[in-house]
Chains A and B, each alone.
Chain A
Amino acid sequence: NAGVTQTPKFQVLKTGQSMTLQCAQDMNHEYMSWYRQDPGMGLRLIHYSVGAGITDQGEVPNGYNVSRSTTEDFPLRLLSAAPSQTSVYFCASSYYRSPEELFFGEGSRLTVL
Protein backbone atom coordinates (compact mmCIF):
# COMPACT_ATOMS: atom_id res chain seq x y z
CA ASN A 1 0.00 0.00 0.00
CA ALA A 2 2.88 2.36 -0.81
CA GLY A 3 1.14 4.89 -3.10
CA VAL A 4 3.60 7.62 -4.15
CA THR A 5 7.04 7.34 -2.58
CA GLN A 6 9.57 10.16 -2.63
CA THR A 7 13.20 9.96 -1.59
CA PRO A 8 15.04 11.55 0.05
CA LYS A 9 12.76 13.36 2.49
CA PHE A 10 15.47 15.86 3.40
CA GLN A 11 18.60 16.96 1.54
CA VAL A 12 21.14 19.73 1.93
CA LEU A 13 23.24 20.67 -1.10
CA LYS A 14 25.92 23.18 -1.85
CA THR A 15 25.52 25.57 -4.75
CA GLY A 16 26.57 23.88 -7.97
CA GLN A 17 26.05 20.32 -6.81
CA SER A 18 23.72 18.01 -8.67
CA MET A 19 21.21 15.55 -7.29
CA THR A 20 18.15 13.51 -8.18
CA LEU A 21 14.87 13.42 -6.31
CA GLN A 22 13.28 10.04 -6.76
CA CYS A 23 9.57 9.42 -7.20
CA ALA A 24 7.93 6.03 -7.56
CA GLN A 25 4.29 5.01 -7.64
CA ASP A 26 2.83 1.52 -7.54
CA MET A 27 -0.68 2.32 -8.78
CA ASN A 28 0.07 2.05 -12.50
CA HIS A 29 -0.85 5.71 -12.98
CA GLU A 30 -0.18 7.24 -16.35
CA TYR A 31 0.17 10.81 -15.16
CA MET A 32 3.00 11.96 -12.94
CA SER A 33 4.14 15.43 -12.06
CA TRP A 34 6.55 17.43 -9.91
CA TYR A 35 5.57 20.53 -7.98
CA ARG A 36 7.56 22.86 -5.79
CA GLN A 37 6.12 24.65 -2.79
CA ASP A 38 7.56 27.93 -1.62
CA PRO A 39 6.28 30.05 1.27
CA GLY A 40 3.32 32.18 0.21
CA MET A 41 3.35 30.76 -3.32
CA GLY A 42 1.27 27.61 -3.17
CA LEU A 43 2.39 24.73 -5.38
CA ARG A 44 3.82 25.37 -8.83
CA LEU A 45 4.25 22.76 -11.53
CA ILE A 46 7.82 22.02 -12.62
CA HIS A 47 7.48 19.12 -15.09
CA TYR A 48 4.90 16.52 -15.86
CA SER A 49 4.50 13.28 -17.78
CA VAL A 50 1.47 11.67 -19.39
CA GLY A 51 3.14 8.30 -19.85
CA ALA A 52 6.42 6.48 -20.23
CA GLY A 53 8.67 8.30 -22.67
CA ILE A 54 6.58 11.50 -22.65
CA THR A 55 7.43 14.56 -20.57
CA ASP A 56 6.73 18.25 -20.78
CA GLN A 57 7.47 21.49 -18.97
CA GLY A 58 5.26 23.15 -16.40
CA GLU A 59 5.33 26.69 -15.03
CA VAL A 60 8.83 26.69 -13.51
CA PRO A 61 11.02 24.16 -15.40
CA ASN A 62 14.34 26.02 -15.47
CA GLY A 63 17.15 24.23 -13.70
CA TYR A 64 15.37 20.87 -13.64
CA ASN A 65 15.37 17.81 -15.88
CA VAL A 66 13.05 14.84 -15.92
CA SER A 67 12.72 11.55 -17.72
CA ARG A 68 10.10 8.79 -17.68
CA SER A 69 11.60 5.49 -18.74
CA THR A 70 9.03 3.41 -16.85
CA THR A 71 5.43 3.95 -15.76
CA GLU A 72 6.44 3.67 -12.12
CA ASP A 73 9.32 6.14 -11.87
CA PHE A 74 9.62 9.86 -12.51
CA PRO A 75 12.92 11.27 -11.18
CA LEU A 76 13.61 14.99 -10.96
CA ARG A 77 17.21 16.06 -11.58
CA LEU A 78 18.83 19.26 -10.41
CA LEU A 79 21.83 19.74 -12.68
CA SER A 80 23.56 22.58 -10.81
CA ALA A 81 21.75 23.49 -7.62
CA ALA A 82 21.11 27.15 -6.79
CA PRO A 83 19.84 28.71 -3.54
CA SER A 84 16.65 29.67 -5.42
CA GLN A 85 15.87 25.95 -5.63
CA THR A 86 15.54 25.69 -1.87
CA SER A 87 11.98 24.44 -1.57
CA VAL A 88 9.71 21.56 -0.72
CA TYR A 89 9.15 19.28 -3.69
CA PHE A 90 6.07 17.14 -4.21
CA CYS A 91 5.60 14.34 -6.68
CA ALA A 92 2.04 13.47 -7.68
CA SER A 93 0.34 10.89 -9.85
CA SER A 94 -3.13 10.17 -11.19
CA TYR A 95 -4.99 7.65 -13.31
CA TYR A 96 -6.13 8.95 -16.68
CA ARG A 97 -9.70 7.81 -16.10
CA SER A 98 -10.00 9.82 -12.88
CA PRO A 99 -7.59 12.73 -13.13
CA GLU A 100 -9.29 14.52 -10.27
CA GLU A 101 -7.79 11.97 -7.91
CA LEU A 102 -4.29 13.33 -7.63
CA PHE A 103 -2.13 11.34 -5.22
CA PHE A 104 0.76 13.20 -3.61
CA GLY A 105 3.97 11.93 -2.12
CA GLU A 106 5.00 13.12 1.32
CA GLY A 107 7.34 15.79 -0.01
CA SER A 108 11.11 16.30 -0.12
CA ARG A 109 12.62 19.29 1.64
CA LEU A 110 15.69 20.57 -0.21
CA THR A 111 18.05 23.24 1.08
CA VAL A 112 20.74 24.69 -1.18
CA LEU A 113 23.47 26.61 0.62
Chain B
Amino acid sequence: AQKITQTQPGMFVQEKEAVTLDCTYDTSDPSYGLFWYKQPSSGEMIFLIYQGSYDQQNATEGRYSLNFQKARKSANLVISASQLGDSAMYFCAMRDRGSTLGRLYFGRGTQLTVWP
Protein backbone atom coordinates (compact mmCIF):
# COMPACT_ATOMS: atom_id res chain seq x y z
CA ALA B 1 0.00 0.00 0.00
CA GLN B 2 1.21 3.47 -0.82
CA LYS B 3 2.31 5.37 2.24
CA ILE B 4 2.21 8.74 0.50
CA THR B 5 -0.29 9.74 -2.17
CA GLN B 6 -0.04 12.83 -4.31
CA THR B 7 -3.05 12.90 -6.60
CA GLN B 8 -2.09 15.91 -8.72
CA PRO B 9 0.47 15.00 -11.39
CA GLY B 10 0.50 18.63 -12.54
CA MET B 11 -0.68 21.98 -11.27
CA PHE B 12 -0.71 25.41 -12.86
CA VAL B 13 -0.85 28.73 -11.04
CA GLN B 14 -0.47 32.33 -12.07
CA GLU B 15 2.34 34.36 -10.61
CA LYS B 16 1.49 36.01 -7.25
CA GLU B 17 -1.40 33.64 -6.63
CA ALA B 18 -1.46 30.99 -3.89
CA VAL B 19 -1.46 27.29 -4.70
CA THR B 20 -2.12 24.15 -2.67
CA LEU B 21 -0.40 20.87 -3.42
CA ASP B 22 -2.18 17.85 -1.99
CA CYS B 23 -0.65 15.04 0.01
CA THR B 24 -2.29 12.25 1.96
CA TYR B 25 -0.44 9.67 4.01
CA ASP B 26 -1.03 6.28 5.51
CA THR B 27 0.43 5.17 8.82
CA SER B 28 -0.80 3.59 12.02
CA ASP B 29 2.17 4.92 13.96
CA PRO B 30 1.26 7.82 16.27
CA SER B 31 4.75 9.28 15.86
CA TYR B 32 5.71 10.35 12.37
CA GLY B 33 7.14 13.25 10.40
CA LEU B 34 6.02 14.79 7.15
CA PHE B 35 8.27 16.58 4.68
CA TRP B 36 8.04 18.53 1.47
CA TYR B 37 10.87 18.74 -1.02
CA LYS B 38 11.28 20.80 -4.16
CA GLN B 39 13.12 19.47 -7.18
CA PRO B 40 13.83 22.09 -9.85
CA SER B 41 14.77 21.12 -13.38
CA SER B 42 18.42 21.11 -12.34
CA GLY B 43 17.64 17.96 -10.35
CA GLU B 44 18.70 18.64 -6.78
CA MET B 45 16.36 17.93 -3.87
CA ILE B 46 15.67 20.99 -1.75
CA PHE B 47 14.09 20.59 1.69
CA LEU B 48 11.18 22.99 2.18
CA ILE B 49 9.27 22.24 5.35
CA TYR B 50 8.75 19.66 8.09
CA GLN B 51 5.77 18.80 10.30
CA GLY B 52 5.93 16.43 13.25
CA SER B 53 2.82 14.48 14.16
CA TYR B 54 2.81 15.92 17.67
CA ASP B 55 3.37 19.50 16.61
CA GLN B 56 0.46 21.64 17.75
CA GLN B 57 0.86 24.31 15.11
CA ASN B 58 1.04 24.01 11.34
CA ALA B 59 4.59 24.44 10.11
CA THR B 60 5.50 27.58 8.19
CA GLU B 61 8.70 28.58 6.40
CA GLY B 62 8.48 31.90 4.62
CA ARG B 63 6.01 31.54 1.74
CA TYR B 64 5.54 27.83 2.48
CA SER B 65 3.06 26.49 4.97
CA LEU B 66 1.88 23.00 5.67
CA ASN B 67 -1.85 22.49 6.17
CA PHE B 68 -1.75 19.54 8.55
CA GLN B 69 -5.08 17.78 9.10
CA LYS B 70 -4.29 14.79 11.29
CA ALA B 71 -7.75 13.23 11.30
CA ARG B 72 -7.85 13.30 7.50
CA LYS B 73 -4.20 12.21 7.25
CA SER B 74 -3.43 15.05 4.93
CA ALA B 75 -0.40 17.33 4.77
CA ASN B 76 -0.98 19.80 1.98
CA LEU B 77 1.68 22.31 0.99
CA VAL B 78 0.50 25.87 0.50
CA ILE B 79 2.70 28.24 -1.46
CA SER B 80 1.63 31.84 -1.13
CA ALA B 81 2.44 34.55 -3.67
CA SER B 82 3.81 32.14 -6.28
CA GLN B 83 6.93 33.12 -8.17
CA LEU B 84 8.23 31.94 -11.54
CA GLY B 85 11.10 30.28 -9.69
CA ASP B 86 8.61 28.05 -7.87
CA SER B 87 8.11 26.04 -11.06
CA ALA B 88 9.43 22.61 -10.13
CA MET B 89 8.49 19.11 -9.05
CA TYR B 90 7.30 18.88 -5.46
CA PHE B 91 7.50 15.74 -3.38
CA CYS B 92 5.71 14.91 -0.17
CA ALA B 93 7.48 12.40 2.09
CA MET B 94 6.96 10.71 5.43
CA ARG B 95 9.02 9.03 8.10
CA ASP B 96 7.37 6.91 10.76
CA ARG B 97 8.61 4.76 13.60
CA GLY B 98 8.28 1.70 11.38
CA SER B 99 11.01 3.15 9.18
CA THR B 100 14.57 3.55 10.24
CA LEU B 101 15.49 7.09 11.17
CA GLY B 102 16.66 8.90 8.07
CA ARG B 103 14.55 6.74 5.77
CA LEU B 104 11.68 8.46 3.97
CA TYR B 105 8.72 7.28 1.94
CA PHE B 106 8.08 9.55 -1.03
CA GLY B 107 5.02 10.31 -3.09
CA ARG B 108 5.17 10.41 -6.87
CA GLY B 109 5.34 14.17 -7.00
CA THR B 110 3.40 17.11 -8.41
CA GLN B 111 4.82 19.19 -11.25
CA LEU B 112 4.02 22.84 -10.54
CA THR B 113 4.13 25.39 -13.33
CA VAL B 114 3.91 29.08 -12.51
CA TRP B 115 2.93 31.30 -15.41
CA PRO B 116 3.30 35.07 -15.67
Q: List the interface of chain A (C-beta within 8 A of B).
A: 31-33, 35, 40-45, 48, 50, 56, 58, 88, 90, 92-94, 96, 99-102, 104, 106-107, 109
Q: List the interface of chain B (C-beta within 8 A of A).
A: 4, 9, 33, 35, 43-45, 47, 50, 52, 91, 93, 95, 100-104, 106-109
| Residue in B35, B93, B100 whose Cβ sees the most chain A Cβ within 10 Å | B100
Main secondary structure of the interface of A (DSSP, over half): strand
Of the residues A31, A41, A88, A107, contact of B102 by C-beta under 8 Å:
A31
7 residue pairs of the A-B complex, CB under 8 angstroms, read A40-B108, A42-B106, A45-B104, A90-B45, A99-B95, A100-B95, A107-B44
Task: Give the number of A-B contacts (CB < 8 Å).
Answer: 63
- Asked if A100 and B100 make an inter-chain contact with CB atoms under 8 angstroms apart, the answer reads no
- Asked if A94 and B107 make an inter-chain contact with CB atoms under 8 angstroms apart, the answer reads no
Alpha-carbon distance A6/B106, docked complex (angstroms): 21
Contacts of B108 in A (CB 8 A): 40-42
Of the residues A32, A43, A48, contact of B91 by C-beta under 8 Å:
A43
Considering the complex, give the chain A residue whose CB is closest to the CB of B39.
A37
- Asked if B100 and A56 make an inter-chain contact with CB atoms under 8 angstroms apart, the answer reads yes
Contacts of A100 in B (CB 8 A): 33, 35, 50, 52, 95
Alpha-carbon distance A100/B96, docked complex (angstroms): 11
| Residue in A35, A43, A106 whose Cβ sees the most chain B Cβ within 10 Å | A43
- Asked if B43 and A99 make an inter-chain contact with CB atoms under 8 angstroms apart, the answer reads no
Considering the complex, give the chain A residue whose CB is closest to the CB of B34.
A100
- Asked if A48 and B102 make an inter-chain contact with CB atoms under 8 angstroms apart, the answer reads yes
> Chain B nearest CB: distance from A52 CB in Å?
14
- Asked if B91 and A104 make an inter-chain contact with CB atoms under 8 angstroms apart, the answer reads no
Contacts of A107 in B (CB 8 A): 43-45
